[in-house]
Structure 1
Amino acid sequence: MNELWLKKWRTVRKELTRLLHEFNEVNQEDTPVLYEEVLSMKEQIERLHIEITRKYAQQWWSQIPTEDIRRLRVLLIGRPISPSVIHRRPDLSYLMLLLDLEDPNVIRIWAEMTEEKRKKTLDDLALLTKLSDEESQTENSWQKQEEVDTLAYAVLGLTSSATWQEIRQAYRDAVRRVHPDAGGDPARFRHIQLAYEHLTKIRKP
Structure 2
Amino acid sequence: MEQQESRQTLVSPSVDEMNEAKYFSIDTVEDVNDDELVLVVKHLLRTCFNKQASNQIESEDSMMTIDFKNDGDLIYLIGNSKNDITASAYLYSYRGIKLSPSSTFHLEEEKEVQDVLAKLILNKSIQSAHHLSVGGLFVALAESAMPRGLGFSIKTNSAFRKDAFLFGETQNRVLVSIAPEKHNAFEAIIAETDVKSSFLGKVKKENFVIDSEIIISTADAKNLLDKA
TM-score (normalizing by structure 1): 0.25
- Which one has the bigger helix percentage? 1
